[in-house]
Structure 1
Amino acid sequence: MKNKRVIFLNGPMGAGKTTVGRLIQRSLAGCAFIDGDWCMDLEPFVGNSETRALAADNILHMLAGYNNCSHCRGVVVAWLMDRPEICRALEEGAAKIGLETAWFTLLCTEEALGARWRGDKLCPWRTEENLKVSVRSLEAFSRLPGVPVDTSGMTAEQVRDHILKHLSD
């Protein structure tokens, strides 16, 4: 029997991970979706090594549950995984569970990121301060594991199609 696959979508805040992840989920029968932000939803938000490890552990726990579910054929995880050690922990943990992995890092130009950011009127943390943080992180994300996908000038549907094509090759 073929192992189930987990598709990790990485990238800076505002790159489109959640939107693209949901589109992939809807395109693949029996696909679950995990938004890594759900796995460390603290008020006030604390983003440090302890809470990142907590979120990674929660993601792996959910992956194990989905792997044991006969109705689930795969999982998409969308999360800002900005540390190599977090990527490694998730990769190794998924392998221990028996999941195949595919990693994609969504990237874009500063201009594209800013336009998306300012177009999102629903997300309360889309502040100018957070946009500056996200822009500063673009270079670091380009060095992290995963197939880089430059989403500049692409719709979310085009990004989904690009990823699905890559997976079928």
Structure 2
Amino acid sequence: MTTSSPLYPSAVPPRDLVDPLVDPRLYEGVLSRRVLAFCVDFAIVCTLTLIAIPIVGVLGVLTLGLGWMLYPFLFQAIAILYSGATLGGDRASTWGMRLTGLTCRIGYGAKPGFVIAAAHVVLLYMSITFLTPFVLIVGLLTRRKQLLHDLVLGTLFVDKGTLEGRV
């Protein structure tokens, strides 16, 4: 049984992204805008974590201390949920990426789902924790300005205006 519903990604025909050698405008300024977008997203996740701290504290009182076991994983959980909801959503970009005009695509042109977005943020934080300068150097050496975790997941970050034909 075939269906054309967007709920079934395999039924949606893949659309190839423009090759960077043919249209390099898709990747112009992407690295610097990604750094700015990361800073904005990091500030948002930190703010959401600060908001969640007293909520978890009350939860810990109500559960006789069991809720306090969430504290060591609070930042990570919020970062995964934030990235999964925004990067894995319809716009395929976090709030920082929207501010800088970027969008995410999988190698064949589809938008990433929640699982790829969550994996992306986990690999992002792991790679910048252990390989900070190397992660950015990889971005300077690839044609599509992909960072190390982008290469692992097959994700691309492109200029949204150019992709939609507005520029």
What interval of TM-score do these two structures reach, taking the shorter chain for normalisation? under 0.3
**Higher normalized helix content (fraction of residues):** 2
Structure 1 length as normaliser, TM-score? Answer: 0.27
The structure with more radius of gyration: 2
**Higher normalized strand content (fraction of residues):** 1
